[in-house]
Each structure stands twice: as structure tokens, then as C-alpha cells.
């Protein structure tokens, strides 16, 4: 039986909900998922790297050995053996991280939302890099902060620019390794200066680090968490080193904060799925990542080099771009007169896609910038796509 609606609902969305906007990137991705398009737009890891067989074995083992625990509700803070594994992993550099500091989350994106919920009031000042990760700007925006941009240069965030905007700030959100969107990394000296500056100001420093393990050459740089465990909130993720579809990340934070985050998480979704946490623990506990991650590094490093070579060959001399030492992105700055949004229209007509840089800026955007991802596109298509973009740009000049 179906009831009539004599008084159709006039939806009254909250002020908060009225502000929500679809992510520009997700909109572009809808277009670019068409197979004929060469897409440098995605922020997706390469599915070629997903350890499908290993995951299958682990699901099977967990369900066979502990199915009734894996399929039950679990604790909000997460599956204890996995939290212990993460605490040990974060302590390999000599830090003394304890499992109580770890909160498992449903993708590190959830950590951004929870951090916003517990640290940001309407109008609170939040410091972000210029440009910064769009998903963080989106997550924090729900809590209606006042974003202040901290300067960056070709070496990443400039710590000496923090003081000028730090007055009353609730947090500083930083991406020290192979930043999304620029691919830049902070030097050890800058990390120290950043941590010292935040410590002097009593300013909580978020270290968002989903890409840190994906360095193409050399050892990863030290975590800022290790430099000041009482002032740094570290966010990690299994999305880029295993698979994003399992939606598993974690936060490591000082105890008073982590307990607040746990309460916020309890209200949001009770807990992250036990099944996936147990499966990931089964996968990582015997050192699988040490064997697996080098294969991702090699693939991404090679494709990055192909793109860098193609940019040098096809882009005009007055365009510049970053040379990442890891991660998934190259950031291009075009001659000032070129609007990347206009270029995108033409590029899509020519079956190539990328993400214009503007949405990554919390305040004044630089409209002549764009983000290119090289990880899901095979080398010959990278060359082809960059050549198309280079020609379009030269035609626009
Ligand atoms: N932080 C950054 C910088 C990211 O690039 C991403 C994913 N693109 C996330 C957080 C969220 O990752 P996940 O929720 O998959 O862990």
C-alpha cells in the first residue's frame, strides 16, 4: 500500500548542508572514465598494483579462522593487533608510539572530517598550504573555518610565513611527502623548522602522509611525528600501499585528542569494519609491504620519468613543472595568460583530461596551474596525451 503526499516535503537543508559542493575532481572523473580519454585527472592508484591474490588468501584465512569475530561489531578505536602493528611501524625510527595513540578510520579522509569536527568551530582559523589537498579543504569546509594560506615555494611550505597568519589558529594542515597536488616534499631542515615553529606557537600540526612510502629514490624523509609526538597529528592510509577500496586509514595523535576523535567516530559510524582491519593485519603482519611497495615505486617512478621527458619535449619553454621524488602527481605552471579551465575544455574535446589547479587553493587561486597524474596511464598514452596538451597550450599562446 502506498500513501499519498498531500503536503509534499519542502526540504529545508541545514546551512551546513547548503554549503556542500561536489568535488570538482569527482565531476571531472565522471567524464574522464570514458575509455577513449587519456586521463591524467585521477588521483587513483594504479589497479595494476593491487595485490588481489594476497587479499583473497587473507579474506579466506580470516573468515575461515575467525569468521564470527570478523563479522561482528568491533571496538571504535579499531582492531587491537592492527593498532599494535601500526604503533610498532611508527616506532621503527626510534619514536615511542603506543597503540593507545592509534585510531583506525574508514580511509584517512574520515580522519580529516573527525579532526574538523573536534577542532574547528565556525570561523576558527585553519592554516593550509597553497595549494593544498582538495579533499581536506572540502572536509574542513563543512565546519566553516576561516582558511588562511601559508606560503609555499618550489621546496614546499615556507615555515617562516606561519607567524604572520598564526594568530588564534586551531591547526596547520601539512603534506610533507610528495604533496597532493604538487608532488613536492619538505626537506629535513624545513620539517624541523615547521615543527619548531608550531611548537613555539602551541599550534597543532597535522602531518597527512598517504604517499610517504612511495619514494622512487632514496629512503623516505623522517616523519615530523618523530620530531614532536606531543604536537603532531599523523595521518596514515593503506589506500596507496595496498588498495583504496578497503577504506582503511589511521590517525596517531596525542592521547587527549585521540580520545575526542574516538568519541566523534563513535557517533559517526561506531567503528571501521572489523573484517577489513583483520584482513589487512593478516596481509601486513609478515612484512608483505616491504616486498610489495618496491613494485609500486618502480612502476610509478618509471611512468613519472616518461611524463617528465614528454613535458620537456612538448611543453613550451616558459611552462614549469615539479620533479617529484615519489608519489603520484606533477604540478604544472603555465604562462600566466593561460587559464587551465579553458585549456581543459579543449583538452577534453581532444580526449585528454587533467585537473585545473584552482580548486586546490583555499584562497586566491593561480588559474594557470594544473595537476597531472601519471600512475594509471601506460607510457605510450602518457607521451600521446602530453603531446596533445603541449600542442593545445602552444596554440593558445
Ligand atoms: N590525504 C591525501 C593527501 C590524499 O591524497 C588522499 C586521497 N587522495 C587522502 C588523504 C584520503 O585517502 P584515503 O581516505 O583513501 O585514506
- For residue 249, the CA-to-ligand 1 centroid distance in Å is 9
Mean pLDDT along residues 295-324: 97
Q: Give ligand 1 pocket residues (Cβ under 6 A).
A: 43, 107-109, 133, 135, 175, 180, 208, 210, 237, 239, 244, 249
Average pLDDT, the chain: 95
How much is the pLDDT for 22? 74
How many Å lie between the centroid of ligand 1 and the Cα of residue 252?
Answer: 15
Ligand 1 atom nearest the C-alpha of 247 is 15
For each of the domains in the chain, give its residue range(s) and CATH number, in order of start.
15-51+290-396 (3.90.1150.10), 73-286 (3.40.640.10)
Q: Which atom of ligand 1 is nearest to the CA of 106?
A: 14
d(CA 124, CA 210): 26
pLDDT digits (tens, 9 = 90+) for 19-52: 777 777 777 777 777 888 999 998 899 999 999 9
Which residue is listed with cell 568551530?
121
Nearest ligand 1 atom, CA 133: 3
> How high is the pLDDT of residue 136?
97
Please report the pLDDT score of residue 332 as a whole number.
98
CA of 390 to the centre of ligand 1 (A): 29
CA-237 nearest atom, ligand 1: 16
Decide: helix, strand or coil at residue 29: helix
269 CA distance to ligand 1 middle (Å): 19
Whole-prediction pTM value? Answer: 0.96
Peptide bond into 181 cis (omega under 30): yes
The x, y and z cell numbers of residue 195, run together, are: 615543527
Which of 176, 210, 329 for a ligand 1 pocket mutation test, highest count of atoms within 8 Å of Cβ? Answer: 210
* Residue having the nearest C-alpha atom to atom 8 of ligand 1: 43
Q: How many CA atoms lie within 13 A of 275 on its CB side?
A: 11
pLDDT tens by residue, 121-131: 999 999 999 99
Residue with cell 499519498: 4
DSSP-derived secondary structure letter, 24: H
355 DSSP β-pair partners:
371
Q: What is the pLDDT of residue 326?
A: 97
Amino acid at each position: 500500500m502506498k500513501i499519498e503526499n498531500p503536503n509534499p516535503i519542502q526540504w529545508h537543508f541545514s546551512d551546513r548542508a547548503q554549503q556542500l559542493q561536489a568535488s570538482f575532481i569527482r565531476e571531472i572523473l565522471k567524464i574522464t572514465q570514458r575509455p577513449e580519454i587519456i586521463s591524467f585527472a585521477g588521483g587513483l592508484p594504479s589497479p595494476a598494483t593491487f595485490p588481489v591474490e594476497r587479499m583473497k588468501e587473507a579474506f579466506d584465512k580470516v573468515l575461515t579462522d575467525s569468521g564470527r569475530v570478523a563479522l561482528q561489531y568491533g571496538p571504535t578505536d579499531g582492531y587491537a593487533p592492527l593498532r599494535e602493528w601500526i604503533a610498532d611501524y611508527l616506532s621503527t625510527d626510534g619514536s615511542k608510539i603506543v597503540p593507545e595513540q592509534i585510531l583506525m578510520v574508514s580511509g584517512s579522509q574520515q580522519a580529516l572530517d573527525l579532526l574538523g569536527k573536534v577542532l574547528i568551530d565556525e570561523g576558527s582559523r585553519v592554516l593550509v598550504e597553497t595549494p593544498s589537498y582538495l579533499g581536506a579543504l572540502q572536509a574542513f569546509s563543512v565546519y566553516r573555518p576561516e582558511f588562511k594560506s601559508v606560503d609555499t615555494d618550489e621546496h614546499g611550505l615556507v615555515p617562516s610565513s606561519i607567524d604572520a597568519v598564526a594568530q588564534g589558529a586551531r591547526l596547520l594542515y601539512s603534506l610533507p611527502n610528495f604533496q597532493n597536488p604538487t608532488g613536492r616534499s619538505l626537506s629535513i631542515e624545513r620539517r624541523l623548522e615547521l615543527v619548531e615553529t608550531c611548537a613555539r606557537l602551541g599550534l597543532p600540526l597535522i602531518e597527512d602522509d598517504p604517499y610517504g612510502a612511495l619514494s622512487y629514490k632514496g629512503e623516505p624523509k623522517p616523519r615530523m611525528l618523530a620530531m614532536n609526538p606531543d604536537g603532531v597529528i599523523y595521518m596514515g592510509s593503506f589506500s596507496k600501499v595496498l588498495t583504496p577500496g578497503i577504506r582503511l586509514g589511521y590517525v596517531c595523535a596525542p592521547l587527549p585528542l585521540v580520545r575526542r576523535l574516538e568519541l566523534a567516530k563513535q557517533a559517526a559510524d561506531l567503528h571501521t569494519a572489523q573484517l577489513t582491519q583483520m584482513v589487512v593485519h593478516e596481509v601486513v603482519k609478515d612484512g608483505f609491504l616491504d616486498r610489495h611497495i618496491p613494485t609500486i615505486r618502480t612502476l610509478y617512478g618509471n611512468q613519472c620519468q616518461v611524463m617528465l621527458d614528454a613535458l620537456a619535449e612538448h611543453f613550451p619553454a616558459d611552462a614549469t613543472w615539479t620533479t617529484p621524488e615519489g608519489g603520484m602527481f606533477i604540478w604544472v605552471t603555465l604562462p600566466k595568460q593561460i587559464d587551465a579551465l579553458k585549456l581543459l575544455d579543449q583538452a577534453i574535446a581532444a580526449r585528454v583530461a587533467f585537473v585545473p589547479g584552482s580548486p586546490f587553493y583555499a584562497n586566491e587561486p593561480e588559474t594557470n596551474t594544473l595537476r597531472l597524474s601519471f600512475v594509471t596511464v601506460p607510457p605510450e598514452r602518457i607521451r600521446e596525451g602530453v603531446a596533445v596538451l603541449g600542442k593545445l597550450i602552444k596554440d593558445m599562446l
